[in-house]
């Protein structure tokens, strides 16, 4: 299997995160890595963010600005709520669902706002000991963090029923850094508040920059079944930022019949996205759906696959699948993705999810699923969400990974994501441990102590 050099380096970066190498790397080594043409700087910055090496990322204006750009573009930070400015910035804008280890953000569905803010605001008594960088970008980031802190002090009911707390953060973010994916994501989540009064009829034009983005997004959310309104917005999107925003809101909130009628118009825009914009759109929609699952803010699409055009792109099919029920996802897979041999990481990730779900129900299909996990990893695709949900943490109650599959994974661990390798190793240890006979039983069976 051919893996391009940049992807090999990315794999080694991820392995370094697993082994905590980035936690002890020094500034001189980082500087040396970034000076090499063959080393993708984005992978280095990403790993430093994941490892919480804010001491390095905040050590120079250039590194700090690059890290800020990564955070505002959607890159995650290893631990939110810390005292470093980059951690505070990420805490202010990262709409990430719970990881299973406690609250990750103020906007997760299970989250207790007050409990989270105790951790965030509890650092206030360290204020005199904290020295943040004095770069221009740092001063702008600090103002955004302060806006979040002020908004976060509002009652939880306001976050659930009013656009104002959300608007306070998004408006400040845009004024400091311009329109960025993170701010559109927050506006997209804010659109789902439960309120009979906030109809935002003063913001009917999705691209009217004279009106707050959060209110424009809220108005769009309330137009879920309006084919005419959505058609106008999709046609009016003239620049990449407008196209990205329209597609995210349309994919998140439009009703099933509206999507069926306008899917060809949206498909043309989706196909026209650059690679990074497409990846960002797909990831943002997945996060929005994951955060809101169970909260009934975003309903599963009851879309009729038979009503969709046969020429629909695999990108659009994958995006639609993000909001659909498993049964509809299977229909989309059969119609549009069965024979897919391309290298789009997002499409491959969805295909792998379907293959894993099918293998869990039918062990004879694990050969396809394991190849899917291998190929998606080679393309830098996200680890299969279906695999993680079912098998992580390792050896939890529920379905178990077949031994033959686990052995195949640990024979070539570099070809699979770290999460898959961890599950496979745990399964092999479990199987091997069951075969070990206690010494006393062996002694008894072999008559070690009989005269």
Greatest CA separation for the chain: 97
Q: How far is CA 351 from the centre of its chain?
A: 17
Q: In whole angstroms, what is the distance from residue 23 CA to residue 438 CA?
A: 41
pLDDT in tens, 215-233: 999 999 999 999 999 999 9
Judge contact between 427 and 366, C-beta under 8 A: no
What b/e sequence results for 251-284 when a residue is b if at least 16 CB atoms lie within 10 Å of its CB, and e otherwise? Answer: bbbbbbebbbebbeebbebbeebeeebbbbbbbb
Average pLDDT value over all residues in the chain: 84
Look at residue 435 and tell me whether its pLDDT is greater than 90: no
Q: Which residue blocks in 59-212 are alpha helix, DSSP H?
A: 61-73, 85-93, 113-121, 136-152, 156-161, 164-177, 181-190
Q: In whole angstroms, what is the distance from residue 393 CA to residue 229 CA?
A: 45
pLDDT in tens, 258-312: 999 999 999 999 999 999 899 999 999 988 887 765 454 566 778 899 999 999 9
Q: Report the pLDDT value the prediction gives residue 412, as an integer from 0 to 100.
A: 92
Mean pLDDT of 232-242: 94
Phi first, then psi: what are they for 301, rounded to 5°? -75, 125
pLDDT in tens, 165-190: 999 999 999 999 999 999 999 999 89
Please identify which residue in the block is written with the tokens 């806006």: 147
Number of Cβ atoms within 10 Å of the Cβ of 428:
16
Name every residue whose Cβ is closer than 8 Å to that of residue 241 and which is 6 or more positions away in sequence: 179
Q: In whole angstroms, what is the distance from residue 39 CA to residue 125 CA?
A: 41
**Cα first-last separation, the chain:** 61
């Amino acid at each position: 299997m051919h893996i391009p050099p940049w992807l090999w380096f990315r794999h080694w970066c991820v392995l370094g995160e697993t082994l905590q190498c980035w936690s002890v790397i020094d500034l001189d080594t980082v500087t040396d890595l970034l000076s090499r043409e063959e080393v993708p700087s984005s992978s280095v910055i990403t790993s430093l963010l994941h490892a919480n090496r804010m001491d390095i990322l905040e050590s120079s204006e250039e590194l700090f600005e690059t890290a800020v750009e990564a955070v505002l573009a959607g890159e995650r930070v290893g631990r939110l709520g810390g005292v470093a400015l980059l951690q505070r910035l990420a805490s202010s804008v990262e709409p990430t669902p719970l990881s299973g280890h406690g609250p990750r953000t103020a906007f997760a569905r299970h989250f207790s706002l007050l409990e989270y803010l105790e951790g965030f605001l509890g650092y206030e008594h360290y204020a005199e000991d904290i020295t943040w960088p004095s770069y221009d970008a740092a001063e702008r980031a600090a103002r955004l963090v302060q806006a979040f802190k002020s908004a976060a002090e509002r009652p939880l009911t306001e976050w659930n029923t009013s656009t104002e707390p959300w608007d306070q953060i998004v408006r400040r973010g845009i004024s400091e850094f311009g329109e960025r994916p993170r701010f559109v994501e927050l506006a997209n989540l804010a659109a789902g508040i439960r309120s009979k009064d906030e109809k935002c009829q003063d913001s009917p034009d999705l691209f009217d920059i004279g009106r707050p983005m959060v209110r424009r997004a809220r108005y769009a959310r309330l137009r879920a079944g309006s084919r005419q309104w959505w058609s106008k917005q999709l046609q009016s999107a003239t620049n990449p930022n407008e196209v990205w925003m329209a597609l995210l809101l349309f994919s998140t909130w439009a009703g099933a019949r509206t999507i069926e009628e306008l899917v060809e118009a949206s498909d043309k825009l989706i196909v026209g996205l650059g690679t990074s914009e497409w990846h960002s759109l797909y990831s943002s929609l997945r996060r929005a759906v994951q955060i809101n699952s169970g909260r009934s803010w975003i309903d599963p699409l009851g879309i009729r696959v038979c009503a969709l055009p046969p020429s629909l792109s695999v990108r659009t099919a994958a995006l639609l699948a993000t909001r659909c029920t498993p049964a509809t996802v299977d229909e989309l897979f059969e119609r549009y993705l069965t024979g897919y041999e391309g290298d789009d990481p997002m499409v491959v990730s969805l295909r792998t999810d379907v293959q894993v779900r099918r293998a869990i129900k039918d062990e004879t299909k694990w050969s396809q699923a394991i190849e899917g996990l291998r190929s998606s990893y080679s393309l830098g695709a996200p680890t299969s969400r279906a695999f993680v949900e079912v098998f992580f943490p390792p050896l939890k109650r529920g379905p178990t990974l077949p031994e033959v599959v686990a052995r195949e994974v640990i024979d070539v661990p570099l070809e699979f994501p770290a999460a898959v390798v961890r599950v496979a190793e745990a399964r092999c240890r479990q199987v091997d441990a069951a075969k070990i006979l206690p010494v006393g039983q062996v002694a008894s069976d072999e008559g070690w102590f009989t005269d």
